[in-house]
Structure 1
Amino acid sequence: MSFDPLIDQLAGNLKPVRPRRFGQDAAIIALICIAEIGIFFALGAALPNMPMKMRQPTFWWRLISLGLIAVISCIPAILSFNPAYSPRRALRWIYAVIGICLLTGLWFDIGWDGLAGLIHRIDWRDGVQCAFKMFALSIPPMVGLGMLMRRGAPTDQAKSAWLIGIAAAAWGAFVFVFACPFNDALYIVIWYGVGCGAVTLLSRALLPYLARW
């Protein structure tokens, strides 16, 4: 029995994939991020009292943690577009880093102040707005990484989508730090978690359908 017709039929639906160049893909994402943060400051979206905010420990906790997460998740995300790379181990390390960053926030005052104090600190009205802004700021890098994923050939689309979502969410939250007027660690953990979680879930739900494999 000849399998040539079946092989020809399967091969006929395949499209050529260009060899991945990590430096080129990383440069594209870097340009997107630089352009976004440049536009962000050009539009005057940053807080006017930024020098005062920079004296707050939670400001640097957010900036360093989110910047670190964005970088260490973006690198394996781009690498995962190559079919020879498996993002499984990288994703585990990123989860560990996220956990460490959250635990670092325990050094700040996120204790229990009673129900009334807790509701006041969470401040859900401003929190929802902050989460939405973080979500919006995450869209450009997520679209950029999604298009690179489309051009690549990831063998584990789900994990690539997780990595893209984490990287984009962390970057969006990183940019938003410069506009966030809140310094309460409890507020930050909750609403930054909501905003970043929404972006990551959206990436996981949509981006696997962009892959050609």
Structure 2
Amino acid sequence: MSRDPDESSIEQTIEALVGDLRPVVPVRLWRGMILGLGLTALSVGGVWLTFGLRPDVLTMHPAPIVIARGAALLAGGLALLVAALRAALPGRADQGATTLGTMILGILPIGLMGLLLDGIVARQRPNFAEIQPFLGMRCLGVSLAASLLIGGGLAAWMRRAAPTDLARAGWLTGWAVAALGTFAYSLFCPSQTMAFMTAVYPTAMLLAAIVIRFAIPPLLRW
């Protein structure tokens, strides 16, 4: 029986397609976490080399407020980083990590509200004299630069994971890297007042989160 020429052509096409296939390294959540931690450490190093660190941080005896703000930023950022990485993977729930990270970072604006209410009750105006334009702009600029460094590296990992909800992935990544980038700045920040921490830090994170939110989706589209 004669062989159909089309059948031979189909077999050749299939062989050609199979020949082009290459093994792909599976996308693992723990690799994304290691990448995020590594980029955070890199941003801390960049702040250190460019501006230096606080003397009490260098001597490993940071002031209580430095420990408090650093712990909140790092813990909240890592929780939201887990949520962002989970959101990029199919079939992974990220709600628990999202809620935890949001609650931790919510301490900062809640602290500002408490400071304002305390001033109202005491009939005293809270002291915001330390929030000078230069210090505030430096916080915004350094935090944004560190956030972009971390976000850029994570975008490459998330692109391989191919998230389906780009808006959610963008917001989660934005808030995660904003917290981690602001954490890097906090190790240098000379301020030790609640007013600066609860007013300027959330503003810096909001700016970075918005920028990352709209920068990430185009990078994730194939």
Q: TM-score, normalising length from structure 2?
A: 0.74
Assess, with a 3 A threshold, how the Cα gap between structure 1 residues 105 and 120 changes in structure 2: closer, same or farther: closer
Q: Is the 8 A contact 1:53 1:59 kept in 2?
A: no
Residue 213 of structure 2 is aligned with which of 201, 204, 207?
204
Q: Give the 5 Å matches for 1:57-96.
A: 57-96=64-103
RMSD: 3.0
Q: Give the Cα–Cα distance (whole angstroms) in 2 for the partners of residues 146 and 126 of structure 1.
A: 30
Q: Distance in 2 between matches of 1:55 and 1:35?
A: 21
| Pairing 1:1-213 to 2, within 5 Å after superposition | 19-43=26-50, 45-50=52-57, 54=61, 56-103=63-110, 111-112=118-119, 113-114=124-125, 118-212=127-221
Give me the whole-angstrom Cα distance separating, in 2, the residues matched to 1:210 and 1:97: 28
User: What is the number of residues matched between the two proteins?
Assistant: 196
Any unmatched runs of 5+ in structure 1? Answer: 1-15
Mapped contact 1:86–1:156 kept (Cα < 8 A): no
Specify whether residues 51 and 148 from structure 1 end up closer, same or farther in structure 2 by C-alpha distance, changes over 3 A only: closer
Q: Is the 8 A contact 1:91 1:159 kept in 2?
A: no
Q: SS at 2:41's partner residue? A: helix
Q: Using a 3 Å threshold, how does the CA distance of structure 1 residues 41 and 167 change in structure 2: closer, same or farther? A: same
Give distance in 2, aligned partners of 1:108 and 1:55: 23
Give the aligned residue type for 1:179: F
Say which SS state the counterpart of residue 84 (structure 1) adopts.
coil
Q: Which runs of 5+ in 2 are unaligned?
A: 1-21
Secondary structure at 1:120 match in 2: coil
1:187 is matched by which residue type in structure 2?
F
Larger radius of gyration between Structure 1 and Structure 2? 2
> Percent of aligned positions with the same letter in both sequences?
22
Confirm or deny: 8 A CA contact 2:87 2:94 kept in the other structure.
yes
SS in 1 for 2:106: helix
* Structure 2 match to 1:9: none
Distance 1:104 1:61, change over 3 A: farther
* Residue 176 (structure 1) shift: 1.0
Kindly state the Cα deviation for residue 87 of structure 1 after the two structures are TM-superposed: 3.2
- 1:80 aligns to what SS in structure 2? helix
Q: What is the alpha-carbon distance in structure 1 between the residues aligned to residue 26 and residue 176 of structure 2?
A: 23
- The AA in structure 2 aligned to 1:69 is G
Structure 2 SS opposite 1:154: coil
